Amino acid sequence: MTALNIATQIPSQITTLEQLHAWSAQALFAINPTLSVIEGVGYTERAAQAGNFWVAADSKTRMICRLSLQVSPDSLSASGKQWTFIQELSNTALPSTFSAN
């Protein structure tokens, strides 16, 4: 487990669940770049992976971390942390069970 102080360590620019997921995936990949786990009989994979890939079929850059998130084209020319350019998947409200202690 990587300890996290939610009040002070999550950047204030993160305003959506999609941005938070992108931030978290990048952080876990950065601190565990070679950690492998067993995911099936005779099958191992890196525990954390995150990367941006150009998808020619719809001409968009998407972050793939076992979840595909669109990255704003502004990320190519604007300054700022990479996760601030992640686009939302939907406007569906987060179920209360995910925010309850």
Per residue of the chain (101 residues), give pLDDT as tens: 567 778 888 888 899 999 999 998 998 888 888 878 898 999 998 888 999 999 999 999 999 998 677 899 999 999 999 889 999 887 877 666 665 44
Which residue carries 């686009």 as its tokens?
87
Contacts of 68 (CB under 8 A, 6+ apart): 62
* pTM given for the model: 0.74
- Rounded CA gap, 54 and 59, in Å? 7
User: Cα angle at 81 between 55 and 7, to 5 degrees?
Assistant: 125
